[in-house]
A and B are shown apart, each in its own frame.
Chain A
C-alpha cells in the first residue's frame, strides 16, 4: 500500500479468522483435565436462605462450592460521592438472595450436562420475603439492611433559578415518562476458564471481558494474589455492549474455585437463560419532568426527578451511580440551558443488577428531553425542527458549559439535523403526511433526536461516580521486530469492533510502515502494559492516542538509528512504507529491516549513544473528553388496526471527527441504531409482581432481526476533535436516538402522547384508539398550561 492507511477502509485484520470460522472464543478453549461449572441459582426474588444442603450432590460425586467454601468473598463497589451507600455483593449468595437468578452455589463436573444434573441435587430451602421490583414503589421492603429506603445513591444537579424561571415561563410542560428495561444480549454470552498453577501461584483467567486489566486488578485483590501472577486473557469476544465491562460474582467464583482445584481448568459458559436473568440489565427509569419555554420555543428551565432501578446490587466496580448520574449529567443534551435542577437516584430492587449498557442511560434521557421539546413544539404551533434549531448549542457557543458543568466541544447539531432531514426527504414526507390525512390510509409521522455522545473521557471527566480509579488513560507498546516488521501490544480490547485494524492503521501511519507489516496483540494482560478497555466510547480516542504516541516514539528511535547509520541528521530523514530516506536525496535510503537488525543483532554497528532494541511504550490521556454531535430523523407508518410501526426512512448524521476507518465507523453507527431500534420497539425485560422474570428466553425477550431493521442512511459531519488523531468516539451514539425518534414519529403520526416504552403494538394500538376516541370529543389539554 502506498501512503497512509489511516482514513481508508482497509481489510480488517481480524476478519481472516472471524469470517472463516477460526475465531478463538473462550467457548472454543479446550484444555486437558478441564471441568465444567453450573451455578445453582435462586428461583425466587427475595428470600432468606434457611438451609443449603449440598450433601446429596456431593454423595453423587459432584464438587459443590458455597460462599463459605470460597472464603466469603464480597464485591463492594466504591464511590466517594457523599450520598452513596456502600453495599456488598457476595460471590455466591449467603444468608439471603436478592434477585431471581442470583448464584447460590457452584457445581463442578466433567461436562456441563452433568454439572446441571448435579445442580439439581443441591437442595436450598428459601423463606420468601416481600419482593420489590419497581424502583418508585414506596414503602418497599429493604433489599440491603444498609439502605432501609433502598436508595443507594442520590444527587441533585442544580444550576440557576429553576423555580423562579418556571413560574414566569410562557409555557410549562409536565410529563411523566417510563422507559423499558434492556438486556445487553451479545451474541456470545459471558464465558470464562480459570486455571491455577500452584507451583508458582499463577492464575490464568480466560474471560470474554471488555476490561482485562481491570479484571486482573480486581481478581488479584479479591483473591489475595500477586497482581503480576494473575493473567487475564480476553481472546475473541463476541460482542459486549458494556455488559462485559462488569466483574461478576460468577467470574470471581470461577477463579476462587480454580484456586481450590489447582491444575484443573474450570470452565463456565453462560447460557441465554442465565444471561437474561443474571447479567446486568439497564434503562429501567422514570422521569418526572417540568420544563418552561418562552413563546418562541426557547427552553428556559428544566426540573427533573429521575429514578433508576439499579437492581439488587451496586454493580462492580461501576456502582449504582452509573445510570442515574449519566441521566442527570446528560439530560439536557445538546440544548442550551441555564436553569436546571435534576435530582437523580439509584434505587435497589429485587431484580438483576443494572450496569453499563451501550449508551448508558442516554437512550432513556434523550427520549425524555426530546419528548419535552416535541410536546412544547406542538403547544406552541412550532415544528419539531424549529424548536430544536431554536435551542441547540451552536459552533459559536463552543466550548459550551452545560448546566451539569460538562463542557461540550462539538456544536454541529444543526448541521447534523439539516443533513439528516435532507437524507429522509423531509419536505416530501410532510407533503405525504398531509395527503394521507382524511384518507383511510395509515398515517405517517416524523420523529427527531439530537444528542451529544460524550466520548474518550480523560482524567478530568472520567467515567464513573468518583470511584477509586480514573479511567482516562491507556498504554501501548510498539515493537519493531528484528526482521523490521512491527508488533503492537495495545491495551485496547475488541468485542468485534475491529480494534486490531484501527490500531494497526494508526501505527502504520505514525511509524511510516505498511499496514500489512503491522500485527496487533490485544486482550492479554501479560502482553500489554495497561488499558482500561472498552466502554464509554473511549478506545479510538484514548487507546488510539496511545498507539499514535508510541508509534511516534518508536519512529523517533528508528530515525536516530538510521541517521547514525547513514551519517546524516535525523531531521533530514523521512520514513514511508518502511523505507527511511533522506529528504531531497531519494537514493540514500535504508530499509527498516536493516535498521532493526542492527538494533537487535549487530550491536557492533550501533551508533554512539543508542541502546539496542527498537520499541517504545507510551501512555495517553486526553484529560478532557470529546463530544460527538449527532442527529437522527425517521419516518414511520402506523397501522391503527394492529399498532404495528413500520419504519419508512431512517437517517443518522454524526460528527465522528476524523474517521480512521470509514466502514468501521459506519458499522458502529448502524449496529448501534439497530440496537436502539430493538430497544425502542421490541426489547423489554418484564418482572411479575413476585419478582420472576417473565421474559426469561428469547421467545419473549424480542431482539430485532435483520428483517426488522430498515435501510439506514448514515451521514457525517467530520469536525476533527482536539486530540492527536482528531477522532471522536462512535461506539454508542447511534443507540441514543431511536427511542426518541420512533416515539416522536408515532406521536406525530397519531397525534398522541407516548409516555412509555417500548412502542409495542399493544401500546401503539391503545394510543391510536385513544386518539380516535379523543377525536370525537373536545380536544383535551393534557398536562401543560398556557400562562397567557
Chain B
C-alpha cells in the first residue's frame, strides 16, 4: 500500500496550477486535502503522473455570504464549513463528513471534484442548485451542480480545469437526513431537501451513480409528507451491494426523505 512514483509540483496561483495541469497532459491530479486521493494512490488504484498540490494557492479558503448565496472557496476545509453560520445546511452536512481528522484536511472543492455519489457536499450542491466555478486555460466557466456530476467519481470537467469555488444558495427551509452504518461513514442514503427561491428541491445521494434529483417528489410537494417520501423511493433504481439489498436501500431512502421533509417543515 505504497503509491507508485509520481512527480510533485506545488504552485502558488491558479494560473500556475492550470499550467501544471496542461503540462501534465491529462496525467495530472490536483491534491487538496488528500482524504480520498491519497488512499486510492496508496492502493495504486490511482496512478497520476503529476500531483499538483494546491494548498499554497491563495484566495481559495474563504466562506463569504453574498445576498442569498454563500460563496465557498475550493480550499475551505470541512471543519470550517461545519463551524460557519452563513449557510446552516452546509454546516449540518459538513458535520456528517467522516471524522475530525478528515474534516480538518478535506476540502469543499475536493469533495465536489471527487464526485463520490455517497458524499455529503455533492448532494447539498444538487439540492440547492449550487454553481461551481471552474478555471481553465480559456478562462472561468460556471457549471450548475445538476450538470456537473457525470458518474461515480466522474465530473464533466476537463482534466486541465480546476474548481476554484462554489456558490451555494441559502435555502429558506431545508432538511438533511443521512443513514450510515457507523458514525463517520459515508451514508448509505442521504436525502437533502432545500427550498430555494420558493422552489423545493430534493436530492438523494448514495443510491445512484450521481446525486439524484427526485423530480416527481418535488412536483408533489404539498401532498402529505409520507406520500412525497414514498415518491422519492419510487423514483430510485438502487442496486444491492455489500451493505444490503436494493429494496433495503429504497426503504431507507423513503425514511430519510420523510425525515428530511419533516425536518424542513415541508
Residues of A with Cβ closer than 8 Å to B? 112-113, 116-117, 120, 271-274, 641-644, 682, 686, 694-695, 697, 700, 702, 704-705, 707-708, 760-762, 765-766, 769
A682–B181 touching, CB < 8 Å: yes
Given A113-B3, A117-B4, A641-B255, the answer on whether A761 and B182 have CB atoms closer than 8 Å is: no
How far is B180's CA from A761's CA once the two chains are assembled, in angstroms? 10
A766–B245 touching, CB < 8 Å: yes
A-B contact pairs, 28 of them (CB 8 A): A112-B2, A113-B3, A116-B4, A116-B44, A120-B44, A272-B1, A641-B251, A641-B255, A642-B252, A642-B255, A643-B248, A682-B182, A686-B242, A694-B242, A702-B181, A702-B182, A704-B182, A708-B182, A708-B183, A761-B179, A761-B181, A761-B248, A761-B252, A762-B243, A762-B244, A765-B244, A765-B251, A769-B251
Chain A residues within an 8 Å CB radius of B185? 702
Interface size class of B (residues with CB under 8 A): 20 to 34
Interface centre among A112, A704, A762, A765 (most CB of B within 10 A): A762
Q: Which of A117, A642, A694, A769 contacts B5 (CB 8 A)?
A: A117
In angstroms, how far is the closest chain B Cβ from the Cβ of A30?
17
In angstroms, how far is the closest chain A Cβ from the Cβ of B207?
14
Q: Which of B1, B4, B251 contacts A273 (CB 8 A)?
A: B1
How far is B156's CA from A452's CA once the two chains are assembled, in angstroms? 60
Chain A residues within an 8 Å CB radius of B248? 643, 761-762, 765-766
Chain A residues within an 8 Å CB radius of B4? 116-117, 120
In angstroms, how far is the closest chain A Cβ from the Cβ of B73?
28
Chain B residues within an 8 Å CB radius of A765? 244, 248, 251-252
Q: Which of B2, B43, B181, B255 contacts A113 (CB 8 A)?
A: B2
B183–A707 touching, CB < 8 Å: yes
Given contacts A700-B242, A705-B182, A762-B248, 17 further A-B contacts (CB under 8 A): A113-B5, A120-B44, A272-B1, A273-B43, A274-B1, A641-B251, A642-B179, A642-B255, A682-B182, A707-B183, A708-B182, A708-B183, A761-B181, A761-B188, A761-B243, A761-B252, A765-B251
Residues of B with Cβ closer than 8 Å to A? 1-5, 39, 43-44, 179, 181-185, 188, 242-245, 248, 251-252, 255
Chain B residues within an 8 Å CB radius of A644? 179
A707–B184 touching, CB < 8 Å: yes
How far is B244's CA from A769's CA once the two chains are assembled, in angstroms? 14
B183–A641 touching, CB < 8 Å: no
B242–A697 touching, CB < 8 Å: no
In angstroms, how far is the closest chain A Cβ from the Cβ of B179?
5
How far is B2's CA from A643's CA once the two chains are assembled, in angstroms? 37
Interface centre among B2, B4, B43 (most CB of A within 10 A): B2
How far is B182's CA from A682's CA once the two chains are assembled, in angstroms? 8
Chain A residues within an 8 Å CB radius of B5? 113, 117
Which 7 pairs of residues, A with B, have the shortest CB-CB distance? A762-B244, A707-B183, A271-B1, A641-B255, A113-B2, A762-B248, A116-B2
Chain B residues within an 8 Å CB radius of A700? 242
Q: Which of A113, A641, A697 contacts B252 (CB 8 A)?
A: A641
In angstroms, how far is the closest chain B Cβ from the Cβ of A588?
63
How far is B245's CA from A718's CA once the two chains are assembled, in angstroms? 47
Interface centre among B43, B182, B184, B188 (most CB of A within 10 A): B182
Residue of A nearest to B181 (CB): A702
How far is B43's CA from A760's CA once the two chains are assembled, in angstroms? 27
How far is B3's CA from A116's CA once the two chains are assembled, in angstroms? 9
Residue of B nearest to A678 (CB): B182
How far is B3's CA from A519's CA once the two chains are assembled, in angstroms? 43
A762–B245 touching, CB < 8 Å: yes
Chain A residues within an 8 Å CB radius of B184? 705, 707
Residue of A nearest to B258 (CB): A641
Chain A residues within an 8 Å CB radius of B245? 762, 766
Residue of A nearest to B256 (CB): A642
Given A271-B1, A273-B43, A697-B43, the answer on whether A707 and B182 have CB atoms closer than 8 Å is: yes
Residue of B nearest to A697 (CB): B43
Chain A residues within an 8 Å CB radius of B251? 641, 765, 769
How far is B39's CA from A702's CA once the two chains are assembled, in angstroms? 17
In angstroms, how far is the closest chain A Cβ from the Cβ of B96?
13
In angstroms, how far is the closest chain B Cβ from the Cβ of A703?
8
How far is B243's CA from A643's CA once the two chains are assembled, in angstroms? 12
In angstroms, how far is the closest chain A Cβ from the Cβ of B253?
10
Interface centre among B5, B185, B251 (most CB of A within 10 A): B251
